[in-house]
Amino acid sequence: MALFTDRRDAGRKLAKKLAAYANRSDVLVLALPRGGVPVAYEVALALHAPLDIFIVRKLGLPGHEELAMGAIATGGALVINQDVVRTFNVPQGLIEAVAKKELKELERRERVFRGDRPMREIRGKTVVLIDDGLATGASMHAAILGIRSKQPARIVAAVPTAALETCEAFKQKVDEMICATTPEPFYGVSRWYEEFSQTSDEEVQSLLEEASQHAVHK
């Protein structure tokens, strides 16, 4: 049985778990595009906090692109999946080549999604990092490393649904980890949404634009 109607519904429910961060001038909500944006939009609205994106790109193994040998995040933070690299004996040069290609795509998406709005300041902020769910956690891990390098005061990662063991593991990586639901057996993120179609670039742009108009804190 689905727990959420869609991502916006999931965001409203997740926001209730984040009520302690409402109406605070130091809070910044960051979304992992694309699926995390509708969730984060509702959270930012409920908390009266500004919203921005933090992009992560998977580093797919050439020939087996669905298999992630790592991920790269805004600012160039790199996470390598050493198990995949060892198993497939991936040379360092190949990792660097794929990372370079994905960094270009990441920068292109930032321009598309953000337009001419500059990245919001992270240093000294309490960052609430949102995605639509947590499966392997590779993207979230890369984002956390990227955000950490920008010296926030605190990182709070929050998702509507996750596998219990993944949620527990992430408590070691952030200051606070909030998983609104941890159904067992997990089966994957999409299982818990009635509607889980891919979020379009246009929807991301629209929600970010709306959020920039709603934001009460700079």
Domain ranges of the chain: 7-55+118-214, 57-113
In this structure, which topology does domain 7-55+118-214 adopt according to CATH? Rossmann fold (3.40.50)
Q: Do 52 and 29 form a contact (C-beta atoms < 8 A)?
A: yes
pLDDT at position 76: 84
Pairing status of strand 56-61 against strand 51-53: unpaired
Pairing status of strand 176-181 against strand 154-161: parallel
DSSP bridge partners of 79? 71
Strand locations in 131-175 (E): 154-161
In this structure, which topology does domain 57-113 adopt according to CATH? Ybab; Chain: A; (3.30.1310)
Q: Give the predicted TM-score (pTM) of the model.
A: 0.91
- What is the full per-residue pLDDT of the chain (218 aa) written as tens digits? 789 999 999 999 999 999 999 999 999 999 999 999 999 999 999 999 999 999 999 899 999 887 889 889 988 888 898 999 999 999 999 999 999 999 999 999 999 998 888 899 999 999 999 999 998 788 899 899 999 999 999 999 999 999 999 999 999 999 999 999 999 999 999 999 999 999 999 999 999 999 988 764 44
d(CA 43, CA 142): 22
